[in-house]
Structure 1
Amino acid sequence: MTDKKKILYIGGHGKVGLLTAPKLVEAGHEVHSLIRNPEQKADIEKLGATPVVADITEQSAEQWAELFADYDAVVWGAGNGGRGGADLTWAVDRDGALATLDAMEKLEQEGKKLPSYLMISYVGSQEATTDPADEKWYAYVESKKEVDNRLVKADYPHLILKPAMLTEERAQGLELIEDKMLQESMTSSRELVADVIVEALGRDSLPESPIAFVDGKDPVSSIK
């Protein structure tokens, strides 16, 4: 296991973010959770994390780069997922995420300190398709596809996590699977996703990307 890291979790008030922060803190890391709503600060502080207030849809690549330079690792755990409509989904899941990748490339080109980058996605994201008539879900699927297909080409340290349908079940372990199309029978508990994040960021270097997984019996330490 590596030494303590300073970690920025983007989307800190999401369900996975709220599960992940205290686990990272317990593992000895310094955690900063990025949220949009300042009224959520107290929730973040209760977890032992430090709130960072910013609107993903308004952050420029330059602003992200300035922020990222202060961290050892960045986790993208944000996502509108169609809930606020197609326009907001494009703004968050595509444009917001792409701005963070622009920031990583900017830091890399300028020879500045570069954090490792962890993206939470889903099984089959790079090939998934859906009916354009379902505008909200189409926006999510196409956004994740574009972002992930760009990230896999990055030279900087990165990892794409690909769980299946997320549930509220307790984590029992995982099973690593092939990164093929998502099926309704596949599930991954949100707590398991949090455990995988903690395991990955606790290592000296990130595991090989991507990691596709569902609920299973193997410990997260079995990840190669």
Structure 2
Amino acid sequence: MARILIFGGHGKVALLLEPLLVAQEHTVTAVIRDPAHEAEVAATGAQPVVADIEILDVDQLTNLIAGNDVVVWSAGAGGGDPARTYAVDRDAAVRSMDAAAAAGVLRYVMVSWIGSRADHGVDRESSFFPYADAKWAADAHLAGSALDWTILAPGTLTLDAPTGRIELDPEGSGSVPRADVAAVIAATIADDSTIGRTIRFGAGDEVIGHAIAG
């Protein structure tokens, strides 16, 4: 069983992921910014840790990550403020990768988005551009690192009931239930064939474990 550290531990996907991992008998630590969220995270079986990743430097993040086996990045600024989007989705994410390497915690799973690529096509004048730009920069840094990385790139997230099935490289937005994204993260952690791959997916008909197997 693994010791798994989740950044963005109070996010909608993370709150669905944590009980899945706990049920698999992993030891789960969830990093959150707001102490008011500790009880909700603890109710999933994860151990909440309050820390503001926006301001932690690499050394502080290294201390936080040390002792774990897997890092999951599911944090984000939530849009709205371009400066904070870059600070969290790009800069803090990159620091966490460098910290994971420094701590010797090589397995790193990034939750990204389906359009994250150099030619994402988002107009610079769009309010979505800072997010697209920041996520691509973070993903590119991870892909160029020596970590055992996987980038998960789901389509538009929904609150629909989970199906346990996905489609790789879907056409269009590839909308997908958040609960299925959580299940993909859990399956990715368990499957080393996902290392070194970017997996773009949406809702579909293939069982998750089969779909992501390399």
Same fold (TM over 0.5): yes
Q: Does 1:216 align with 2:204?
A: yes
User: Which of 15, 18, 29 pairs up with 2:12?
Assistant: 15
Deviations 1:43-78 (A, max 9, x none): 011111100110011111111112212101010000
Q: What is the aligned partner in structure 2 of residue 35 from structure 1? A: 32
The residue matched to 1:210 in structure 2 has which SS? Answer: strand
Alignment of 1:154-173 (within 5 A): 154-172=145-163, 173=165
Q: Does 1:133 align with 2:94?
A: no
Q: How many residues align?
A: 209
User: Which of 36, 46, 57 pairs up with 2:43?
Assistant: 46
Q: What is the aligned partner in structure 2 of residue 200 from structure 1? A: 188
CA separation in 2, counterparts of 1:35 and 1:104? Answer: 18
User: Which of 74, 88, 92 pairs up with 2:88?
Assistant: 92
TM-score, normalised to structure 1, is 0.88
CA separation in 2, counterparts of 1:72 and 1:36? Answer: 22
Per the TM alignment, residue 206 of structure 1 is displaced from its structure 2 partner at its CA by 5.1
Q: What is the aligned partner in structure 2 of residue 110 from structure 1? A: none
CA separation in 2, counterparts of 1:89 and 1:120? Answer: 15
The residue matched to 1:22 in structure 2 has which SS? Answer: helix
CA separation in 2, counterparts of 1:61 and 1:129? Answer: 31
Q: What is the aligned partner in structure 2 of residue 183 from structure 1? A: 172
Alignment of 1:67-86 (within 5 A): 67-83=64-80, 85-86=81-82
Are the aligned partners of 2:117 and 2:136 in contact in 1 as well (CA < 8 Å)? yes
CA separation in 2, counterparts of 1:143 and 1:206? Answer: 27
Unaligned 5+ runs, structure 2: none
TM-score, normalised to structure 2, is 0.92
Deviations 1:69-106 (A, max 9, x none): 210101000012413x1111111111111111221343
Residue type of the alignment partner of 1:63: Q
Per the TM alignment, residue 132 of structure 1 is displaced from its structure 2 partner at its CA by 2.1
Runs of 4+ aligned structure 1 residues displaced above 3 Å come to: none
CA separation in 2, counterparts of 1:171 and 1:217? Answer: 12
Deviations 1:85-130 (A, max 9, x none): 11111111111111112213434xxxxx324100000113023132
Deviations 1:128-166 (A, max 9, x none): 1322223x4211111001111111122221110010011
Are the aligned partners of 1:158 and 1:206 in contact in 2 as well (CA < 8 Å)? no
CA separation in 2, counterparts of 1:105 and 1:202? Answer: 20
After superposition, the CA RMSD in angstroms is 1.6
Unaligned 5+ runs, structure 1: 108-112
Are the aligned partners of 1:123 and 1:163 in contact in 2 as well (CA < 8 Å)? yes
The residue matched to 2:71 in structure 1 has which SS? Answer: strand
CA separation in 1, counterparts of 2:101 and 2:47? Answer: 26
Are the aligned partners of 2:5 and 2:28 in contact in 1 as well (CA < 8 Å)? yes
Residue type of the alignment partner of 2:73: W
